[in-house]
């Protein structure tokens, strides 16, 4: 059997083949249009998104990851098994899939007891330092170590990403340089980065941390490795991010089948989240599971999105809708009060759209929200502007419906949300979770 990694680097392959496997395998031209799960092509294009990026030093340096010693590491199946083992030991996988029972009850309509899907939360925010970002950081750091690099470089403007990189580098005994703009004042983060052994480098405000980190990598790619914070950038960064986070999706799919008994009718996930492409891959061809993301009003068509996810959106498989900041904050408070779970604002926006969609689904179905960002309980985030006086309705006592019932198949109908992102009134009544 070949010791090389499979086409999608973290996917399982048939053990009966002895043919060498490439990092990226594209179907022949006569196979177009491809299935959504058959991208990217050899140049890293996911449909019309992604690719090698704008010609220049960054694209050239990224392309170098598919050559020489780094390419040999990427194609080594044993390296990917090592990454899986490290991820499991450091982040205590599997992260839980939790039924938000009281919030589910509160979200149901009193007038229609057969309506209102159950709400489930995939707690990637509990994965460890950096939440879902730890999977990408650990993978990149291990690949860098095996390729003989001495340090990793990252942009420090994203707290979760910076913490994840520092933890991963410390775990694997590599140097970690975190670049931050001089205009970013975050003593809480910098103290913890230094505690973990990372070097914090302040870049000038014009360049910022992102440009400074990328420039440092271009100048010394033989000894350093750049770790992007999201599944964007020139090929192969988006593909690598998806492959590194694919175990999250397989884990979630198995949990749904075991705990819920079927796949969810909907998964709500941050389109900009680090784990989004990998986590959704196992559900991509499950057409009865709708994939949706929420953004603040006016950002629904924003182009800054993982190219893999953009390809799904362009094909009509992934929806992006608007949710207002007010509804986001009210949802955060509701979940905190009903189920004692405090989540980030980014995750609360996804939960808000899930609650809205759940009100239109049968009570025998379920929706899942992927929580990727670290809870504000683990940081000094200011929560003073939340609506703490929001009245929380108390669910009435109801008998639990017997049996799961037969799942209904649905089309991709309207989301039931106004274009300006405003949601339904906060006085939704209740029911008992099934």
Q: Residue 130: which of 183, 182, 166, 174 has the closest Cα?
A: 166
Burial of 175 from C-beta contacts in 10 A (0-12 / 13-18 / 19+): middle
- For 293-330, how does the pLDDT look when each residue is reduced to its tens digit (9 = 90+)? 999 888 768 655 899 999 999 999 999 999 999 999 99
How far, in Å, CA of 152 to CA of 416, rounded?
A: 45
Q: Is the pLDDT of residue 208 over 60?
A: yes
How far, in Å, CA of 72 to CA of 389, rounded?
A: 57
Sheet holding 118-123, edge to edge: 97-99, 118-123, 366-371, 266-268, 290-295, 318-322
Is CATH 3.30.200.20 the classification given to domain 97-129+239-378? no
Q: Is the pLDDT of residue 253 over 80?
A: yes
List CB contacts of 344: < 8 A, sequence separation 6 or more: 125, 371, 373, 374, 375, 376
How far, in Å, CA of 319 to CA of 46, rounded?
A: 17
For residues 424 and 309, the model is more confident at 309
Q: Is the pLDDT of residue 255 over 90?
A: yes
- For 351-379, how does the pLDDT look when each residue is reduced to its tens digit (9 = 90+)? 999 999 999 999 999 999 999 988 766 56
How far, in Å, CA of 26 to CA of 34, rounded?
A: 9
Q: Is the pLDDT of residue 388 over 60?
A: yes
How far, in Å, CA of 415 to CA of 319, rounded?
A: 9
Mean local confidence (pLDDT), 169-182: 93
pTM of the predicted model as reported, rounded to 2 decimal places? 0.81
What angle is formed at CA 331 by the lines to CA 325 and CA 335, rounded to 5 degrees? 150
Check: CB of residue 296 under 8 Å from CB of residue 325.
Answer: yes
Q: Residue 47: which of 298, 286, 316, 302 has the closest Cα?
A: 316
Mean local confidence (pLDDT), 206-220: 93
Q: How remote is the C-alpha of 66 from its chain's centroid?
A: 24
């Amino acid at each position: 059997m070949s010791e090389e990694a499979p086409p999608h680097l973290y996917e399982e392959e048939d053990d009966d083949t002895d043919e060498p496997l490439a990092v990226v395998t594209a179907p022949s031209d006569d196979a177009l249009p491809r299935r959504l799960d058959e991208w990217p092509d050899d140049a890293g294009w996911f449909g019309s998104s992604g690719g090698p990026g704008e010609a220049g030093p960054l694209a050239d340096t990224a392309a170098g990851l598919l050559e020489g010693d780094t390419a040999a590491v990427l194609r080594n199946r044993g390296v990917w098994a090592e990454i899986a083992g490290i991820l499991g030991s450091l982040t205590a996988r599997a992260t839980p899939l939790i039924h938000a029972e009281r919030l589910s009850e509160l979200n149901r309509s009193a007038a229609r007891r057969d309506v209102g899907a159950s709400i489930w939360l995939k707690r990637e925010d509990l994965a460890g330092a950096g939440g879902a970002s730890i999977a990408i950081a650990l993978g990149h750091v291990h690949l860098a170590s095996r390729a003989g690099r001495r340090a990793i470089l990252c942009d420090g403007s994203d707290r979760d990403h910076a913490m994840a990189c520092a933890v991963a580098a410390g775990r694997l005994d590599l140097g970690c340089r975190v670049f931050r703009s001089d205009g970013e004042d975050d003593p809480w983060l910098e103290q913890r980065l230094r505690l973990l052994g990372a070097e914090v480098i302040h870049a000038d405000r014009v360049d910022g941390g992102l440009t400074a980190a990328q420039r440092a990598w271009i100048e010394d790619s033989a000894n350093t490795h750049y770790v992007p914070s999201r599944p964007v950038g020139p090929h192969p960064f988006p593909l690598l991010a998806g492959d590194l986070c694919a175990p999250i999706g397989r884990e979630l799919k198995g949990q749904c089948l075991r705990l819920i008994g079927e796949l969810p009718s909907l998964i709500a996930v941050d389109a900009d989240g680090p784990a989004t492409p990998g986590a959704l891959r196992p559900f991509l061809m499950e057409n009865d599971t709708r994939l949706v993301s929420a953004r603040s009003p006016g950002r629904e068509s924003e182009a800054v999105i993982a190219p893999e996810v953009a390809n799904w959106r362009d094909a009509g498989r992934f929806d992006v809708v608007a949710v207002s900041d007010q509804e986001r904050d009210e949802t955060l408070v509701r979940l905190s009060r009903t189920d004692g779970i405090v989540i980030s604002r980014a995750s609360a926006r996804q939960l808000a759209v899930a609650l809205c969609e759940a009100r239109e689904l049968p009570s025998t179905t379920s929706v899942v929200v992927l929580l990727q960002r670290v809870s504000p309980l683990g940081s000094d985030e200011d929560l003073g502007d939340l609506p703490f006086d929001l009245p929380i309705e108390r669910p009435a006592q109801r008998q639990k419906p017997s049996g799961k019932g037969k799942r209904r198949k649905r089309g991709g109908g309207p989301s039931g949300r106004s274009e300006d992102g405003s949601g339904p009134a906060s006085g939704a009544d209740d029911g008992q979770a099934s």
